[in-house]
A and B are shown apart, each in its own frame.
Chain A
């Protein structure tokens, strides 16, 4: 993700040129039309898989279910004559694959990681058995479906049949080209950016207001559509739809080809398929046939161990290393902070109550983390929350943001009961939190991080804007530029998060919460781990942010907090011990006692 990419028209032109030139060059090294067509079909299959695995981080081992469903649906309709036009048959197969993806995705995406891998394997296998027996009247069972027709175009005077190997290559190459362009647009769309954010840090993507589960399901369905199309093409290419399409090997081969070629590159699966099919045929020619899968298996393991980004990823990395400038200037806090020129006086009057907890409690079995907390913050206020470690401050914050459910009481945001709303919904209603421990999108740049936040403000929690470029989102760039300026990270905008200094990461953490455009911002220990200079700068930043916003800050740095806050709430042992102005709290004997650990001063 990091780094420049070539302009879209150039990539398209290069791809088109390669697809046109390939038939003239590659046969000289032993790749015939049939092999090239098969490579392209795997490439189409892989475009979808790369979207879910490479870009979204969802490892499915069940893509055969969609490939086979699309393939057999198209083949059945065409062979039985229910649909005469091959183009229409392929389109219906594509939709069929997508629908199967919708059903399986709805079930499988309830879990992630290893569960997702196992569940998708199992569903893939289920479809294999379904095809083989219960549905054999339509699918031909173990025999598959022969006599799948070839496409032809009949448009007035034009009468063209794709009836030779090279014509079929042309047909499939054209589909690959279109499929690639679409996939690339998806990757560069706001939708695609959110996918990479989900891969990087799904909980944070959820917390900044994106409906992660719906994005996952959407991309899963898109991948299933690509798979269905590829399956249909296999039947059309061979003139025969083989039951092998549904086997676990199909899913496994797709995964391996993607890894070999390089995930999150779009071209990777195509390159992987080329290596796979070409190596297989070469090894067979030199009489090494039976060992081809052993060789590929070893290559695969070695790549996983040493070159996780595959062939394309490795090339890109190598190219990137040579052209990336040596060092990106770091912004030191002192030189960078030009955000404090003038901090406007905030109005002395306070508005209505915007955030309120009534009798809120949280218990875990016998352990009471919070009990009977009633708490109200007025519009425009800066509220500090203090309390010893384990006093329940962070638990309380998590209930306010919807990360955990209270076991008692109600929470109101702008007068509306939000108890039970999830973190995404609450973020969309204008309350956001910066975390005590940085929750950044590690593999993205600073700008991309802030894009993710800002997109939730402009697009809401879910939007299927697959085609438009992220740069076309109105005001996104201006919005993010403004946040960058506020955070003094403008010069670091294109640095990946991993290259940031600690203080910069802390500011970006605040920026992620700020980027969603919250009216209420919760800050969980924003000054933790900072040097005195960084603290001073961050306090200025917070004062700036407070203009036009309500802040609630949990912080152990008393000097900083008492200098900023209008009112202070003191937590102790899960409940509220005291509340008042900083002066009142400083004079409160109960607070002193709690902090001194119960030592009674004489």
Chain B
């Protein structure tokens, strides 16, 4: 039952799904950290990335195009949503922000359902990444290795954007004190729009990259959103490092516990969250 090969492949599975969760959660957490809005439509944006990529794949047959379209399309949707809806909620109570994004998520899911139906759709892994690769100590699906690689690159890019650019400096300053940033003559409104777009793009990107692993349905983002909440509660809201560590922790919990008894793995995830809440309510990397 428990053998080294099984264990290491589960460990890798955990790492791959953990990296994906980390990326989606990073999007969620920078949006919250900068705009102060908890985006409950984040799971729907993840789903939307899968469908946008699916459409692009159907018409071009290219997986690379599908990934680019999935990410860019959702990023644009994010920018538009921020302009026409979200920005009117910055001054409103936190509950209203939660509720409006919750409603928005439902609308997005139902629009996709109306267009594509409820059946699952498949985006196959590209031919050049199909099959398996031998890592010496084990054989592992090539596409999953690829996913881990490109998600790691995406996270690194996000990190560089946040910590090594002027925009990132404004974003991080905005997290500290938005009024002050505004007073300094920096266009915080524009920054908010860009950040929401980037956060959405991270979700959309993860959505299409994940599509060959789990085929897509209109509800594919629902569970992802809840898992992201667990990630963010474990890691600490607004913390980029927290999202990554929380993502990997969550991915490994789901993956490793399923070796022993799959039916308990989700329960374990929430149990760990409860434990963090008792021991360190602000999360591992949270400060507030």
Contact = CB atoms under 8 A, between A and B. Distances in A.
Interface string A107-151: 110110111011101110110011011100000000000000000
Contacts of B102: 61, 252, 255
B259 to A, nearest CB: 15
Contacts of B107: 294, 297-298, 301
A463 interface: no
A122 B110 contact: no
Interface string A140-175: 000000000000000000000000000000000000
Contacts of B111: 294
Contacts of B229: 118-119, 121-122
A290 B114 contact: yes
B103 A57 contact: no
Interface string B240-284: 000000000000000000000001101100110110011001000
Contacts of A119: 229, 233, 273, 277
A117 B98 contact: yes
B288 to A, nearest CB: 10
A259 interface: yes
Contacts of B94: 113-114
Contact residues on B (Cβ < 8 Å of other chain), bracket? 35 or more
Contacts of A305: 85, 88, 100
Given A122-B270, A129-B266, A304 B100 contact: yes
Contacts of A61: 102
Contact of B95 (A59, A252, A297, A298): A59
A248 B264 CA distance: 18
A442 B103 CA distance: 28
Contacts of B226: 121-122, 125, 248
B106 interface: yes
A134 B267 contact: yes
Contacts of B277: 107-108, 110-111, 119
A133 B270 contact: no
A187 interface: no
Contacts of A134: 263-264, 267
Interface in B71-125: 85, 88, 94-96, 98-100, 102-104, 106-107, 110-111, 113-114
A408 to B, nearest CB: 24
B51 to A, nearest CB: 15
A296 B232 CA distance: 29
A490 B270 CA distance: 53
A514 interface: no
A358 interface: no
A300 B103 contact: yes
A573 to B, nearest CB: 25
A297 B103 contact: yes
A337 B265 CA distance: 68
Given A126-B270, A129-B267, A304 B281 contact: no
Contact of A133 (B103, B110, B264, B274): B264
B38 A126 contact: no
A346 interface: no
B255 to A, nearest CB: 16
Contacts of B99: 59, 255, 259, 300, 304
A505 interface: no
A35 B237 CA distance: 41
Interface in A243-281: 248, 252, 255-256, 259
Contact of B266 (A115, A118, A125, A255): A125
A291 interface: yes
B83 to A, nearest CB: 14
27 contacts: A57-B95, A59-B99, A61-B102, A111-B277, A113-B95, A114-B32, A114-B38, A117-B98, A118-B229, A119-B229, A122-B229, A123-B270, A126-B270, A126-B271, A126-B274, A129-B263, A129-B267, A130-B267, A248-B226, A252-B106, A259-B99, A293-B106, A296-B106, A297-B107, A301-B100, A304-B100, A308-B96
Interface of A: 53, 57, 59, 61, 107-108, 110-111, 113-115, 117-119, 121-123, 125-126, 129-130, 132-134, 248, 252, 255-256, 259, 290-291, 293-294, 296-298, 300-301, 304-305, 308
Given A114-B94, A248-B222, A304-B99, 13 more contacts: A110-B281, A122-B229, A123-B270, A125-B226, A125-B266, A129-B270, A133-B263, A133-B264, A134-B264, A256-B103, A256-B106, A290-B113, A305-B88
